[in-house]
Structure 1
Amino acid sequence: MIRKATKNDYKAVWEIFSQVIATGDTYVFSPDTAEKDIQKHWFADYMNTFVYEENGKILGTYIIKPNQIDLGNHIANCSYMVHPNAQGKGIGRQLCEHSLKFAKKNNFLAIQFNIVVSTNKSAVELWKKYGFKIIGTTPNGFRHRKLGLVDTYIMFKVL
């Protein structure tokens, strides 16, 4: 089940968030990000936060928000995270499908991912399956914890 997150979900979302960023290989957040920062990174007032729940356990989460303010707010931006122990079970796919429906329902015209790490092959392939196209590359746009500087992609899908 995918549902809107509540303040009661902070701890479970933090568990996912902290484990995903700890590797330093897919998200720009520092692996040293403090738990108190989950509010501004994942639960800010201008975001819609969702969780994927199965048998009472939160296994995934995503945010959707306007990519820009004012005259750029018709394009959405999303970020998705799946608990490391639950990866490979189709949860990311379900989160993506939910976000596409939510974006359309809320009158977004497109979704743009501003920074997809090029070495995150599973994410790049998943987004391509859903019709996202690479519309730009930032050379050395990410400091990968193990590989050093790697390229990042801007990916875009018209809804």
Structure 2
Amino acid sequence: MSTAYGKIPKPEAAVSIDAILPITKKLKNGKNAYLQAIDTTNQPLVTHLQALFNQAIEDGSTYPQEYPLGEQQFMDYFLGYDAFVLATEIIDRNKDYDFDNVVIGMYYVKPNYPGRCSHICNAGFITSISFRGQGGGMAMGETLLTTAPALGYKASVFNLVFVNNEASIRIWRKLGFQEVGRIPQAGRLKNSPDQLVDALIFYNDFSKNNALPK
């Protein structure tokens, strides 16, 4: 995908991502959830994930985009590098699903900067409305500490975590991310129509996590 810096090459992977997937996490209800790479050839899955992302845009409180993305725009933005889905089971592209009851959430990982700084990644997360409050966001955040280092990244930075996104802020603070900056009046958000909302910048050094498989 294109960014403000153009197409950014990824760093060299530290280990094969296939060697560490799927990652099993336990939700608050005690049930297992499975993190797996998004199969971009699974059209029904991609269509569902596009709808999830566009719903987040329509909600207007977490992502900066103002208008829904078409299929190619979504592919370029969310699926252009590495992307993962957390689901109630391992998704088989040859099987039919009611994805509303299967997909817990998703996230992407991609370079935040070009060239000499491309070892620092950015990640963007979506939790399905039907699964909110069940620990899916925390589960995905925990898996990032494994997937991103495996992909070759040394650290991550989140550029826009709006200050009224309390659930997200709780996750990153609990996982040990550092609050390294604040952008005043960063967003016109639907959940705060009478004011421009500040955004926090969170950073994490993956070398402190020791999350890669031995």
TM, length-normalised to structure 1:
0.92
1:49 and 2:83 equivalent? Answer: yes
| 1:20–1:83 contact (8 Å) kept in structure 2 | no
Aligned to 2:126: 81
| 1:62–1:81 contact (8 Å) kept in structure 2 | yes
Q: Take 1:87 and 1:116, find their aligned partners in 2: how far apart are those partners?
A: 18
1:14 and 2:60 equivalent? Answer: no
Aligned to 2:186: 141
1:35 and 2:78 equivalent? Answer: no
Q: Displacement, 1:146? A: 3.5
| 1:19–1:83 contact (8 Å) kept in structure 2 | no
CA RMSD of aligned residues (A): 1.3
Higher-Rg structure is 2
Q: Take 1:135 and 1:113, find their aligned partners in 2: how far apart are those partners?
A: 10
Q: Take 1:101 and 1:10, find their aligned partners in 2: how far apart are those partners?
A: 24
Q: Displacement, 1:93? A: 1.1
Which amino acid is 2:49 matched to? V
Q: Take 1:140 and 1:52, find their aligned partners in 2: how far apart are those partners?
A: 32
SS in 1 for 2:188: strand
Percent sequence identity is: 25
Which amino acid is 1:49 matched to? A
Aligned to 1:121: 166
Which amino acid is 1:21 matched to? I
Deviations 1:97-135 (A, max 9, x none): 111101122332111101111110110111100011110
Structure 2 alignment gaps of length 5 or more: 1-33, 90-96, 207-214
Which amino acid is 2:166 matched to? K
| 1:84-123 correspondence runs (5 A) | 84-123=129-168
SS in 1 for 2:196: strand
Q: Displacement, 1:136? A: 0.4
Greater helix fraction, Structure 1 or Structure 2: 1
Structure 1 alignment gaps of length 5 or more: none
Q: Displacement, 1:34? A: 3.0
| 1:65-80 correspondence runs (5 A) | 65-80=110-125
Q: Take 1:18 and 1:6, find their aligned partners in 2: how far apart are those partners?
A: 19
Aligned to 1:23: 59
Q: Take 2:79 and 2:149, find their aligned partners in 1: how far apart are those partners?
A: 21
Greater strand fraction, Structure 1 or Structure 2: 1
